[in-house]
Every structure is written in structure tokens, then in C-alpha cells.
Amino acid sequence: MTKRNPIHLVAAFFFVFWGIGELVAGRLLGASHYLNALASFVAAGLLRLPDLFARIGFMQVPPSVHLLYTVYIFLSIFFGSILGFYTLFSHWDTFLHFLSGILFSLVGLILFFSIQDKELSRQIRPAVAILFALFFSAACGLVWEIYEFTIDSLVGMNMQRWQSKLPATQWLAMQNHSNRSNPGLIDTMWDLLATALGSLVSIPLLGYMIRKSRSGPGAGARL
């Protein structure tokens, strides 16, 4: 059993208290703070997932990956959504998709060995495990784009950048000229490409994790 790092619990409590503060601010300053409160509580719940998975015996997340996961939650939800970095920095979303490609690949590898028999996992070629991790990352990126499309369609948000700031006549002219001018399509493809690039960058890390898990006495499926 991996020793728990208190930093993840502290981070979860940080989001809980921040969410309570946003609820108070919502009553005083406006309803927009309620969305920040919801994001904070969702972040607190997400931060507890690795510990929950470990408790029920589903998957044991190594401390390094757990830390990267915590950092990603802060970058995406706290800095991105609550502090507005998505608006302040045009490439913040692309950067996070790149980082998610790395994170999803690492999680995919951990999941692969978690669902394998311990003895069988020693006979599996590393390339098979790495391919599973890469495809898992790609699938996660695709699911996220479906989520963005669904939210944009149902709530009218602009997660896929489909709402253009151009005048209507110029916007229609660009659409008639080429579908590639559609900002929603361009945003989606850049997100998927960034996730794929992050996955490819993670390959050396995946290989290192596999070698480390199989070295020494008693090495087995757990990473």
C-alpha cells in the first residue's frame, strides 16, 4: 500500500473552503460565483478519486502520478476556470490538452497492469502495454471533446470556440469558403493533436515505469 501524501488531502480541503467562499460571494456579488463554487466542489471530489480507487482495490496510483494529477486539477479548474486563465491566455487550453495526454497515458498504463493477472503481466511485451496506454489517452481525449460538444449544445457555452466574434457577414463568408475556417472545428482538432502529442512525449516515461515495475525481486503487475 502506497503511503498517503497529505498534500492531496490539503488540496481537497482548499477547494472545499474556496467553494464555500464562492457561495458567500455569490450571495453578495452575483450568480457567476456560484459556478466557481460548483467547480471548486467538483475539483475537491476529483482529488479524492485516486484514494478511493486505492481503497476499493481497483487501482493503486503511484505518488508521482498522483502529484501530477493534483497539479493538473489545479491548472485546469482553479487557474483555468476559476481565475480565468482560459480567457487570459489563448493557448492555456492547448497546453492543458498536451499535459492531459501525458497524464492519461500514465493512468492508462497503470490501469492496464491493474486489470491483468500478476503472473500474466510479466509475460506481456512492453509494446503492448504502451499501445494500450496511448489508445486509452486518445479515447479520453475524444470523450472530453464529446463532453465539450454536449455542454455547448445543451447550455450554449463556448467550450469548443464555435461562437465567433466576427461580424455575421464575414463569418458566413468564411464558412462558405472552407469548413476549415470554422473555429469550433479548428479548436477541436488542435485539442486532439495536443493530446496525441502529449501521449507520444510520455512514451519514455511509460517505458521507464514498466522497467521499474519489473525490476527487483517480487516485481509484478503493480506499478
Q: What is the pLDDT of residues 27-55, one digit of tens each?
A: 888 777 888 999 999 999 999 999 888 88
Angle formed at CA 151 by CA 146 and CA 153, multiple of 5 degrees: 95
Confidence (pTM): 0.82
Determine the Cα–Cα distance for residues 159 and 185; give it in Å rounded to an integer: 12
Report pLDDT for 220.
Answer: 47
Report pLDDT for 55.
Answer: 87
Q: What is the mean pLDDT of residues 132-140?
A: 95
Who has greater pLDDT, 90 or 162? 90
Q: What is the pLDDT of residues 16-27, one digit of tens each?
A: 999 999 999 988
Report pLDDT for 158.
Answer: 62
Let me know: does 214 contact 114? Beta carbons within 8 Å: no
Determine the Cα–Cα distance for residues 139 and 107; give it in Å rounded to an integer: 12
Determine the Cα–Cα distance for residues 39 and 1; give it in Å rounded to an integer: 31
Residue 26: CA count within 13 A, CB half-sphere: 14
Q: What is the mean pLDDT of residues 98-115?
A: 94
Determine the Cα–Cα distance for residues 37 and 54; give it in Å rounded to an integer: 27
Report pLDDT for 155.
Answer: 62
Q: How does the average pLDDT of the chain come out, rounded? A: 83
CA 132, 134, 135, 139 torsion-angle sign: positive
Confidence label for 95 from pLDDT (cuts 50, 70 and 90)? very high
Residue 5 has pLDDT above 70, yes or no: no
Who has greater pLDDT, 201 or 151? 201
Report pLDDT for 137.
Answer: 96
Confidence label for 8 from pLDDT (cuts 50, 70 and 90)? confident
Report pLDDT for 79.
Answer: 95
DSSP letter assigned to residue 59 = -
Report pLDDT for 221.
Answer: 45
The torsion region of residue 107 among left (phi > 0), alpha (psi -120 to 50) and beta comes to: alpha
Determine the Cα–Cα distance for residues 77 and 88; give it in Å rounded to an integer: 14
Who has greater pLDDT, 5 or 115? 115
| 222: CB partners within 8 A, 6+ apart | 60, 113, 114, 213
Determine the Cα–Cα distance for residues 138 and 193; give it in Å rounded to an integer: 10
Residue 178 has pLDDT above 90, yes or no: no
CA dihedral 122, 123, 129, 132 (to 10 degrees): -120
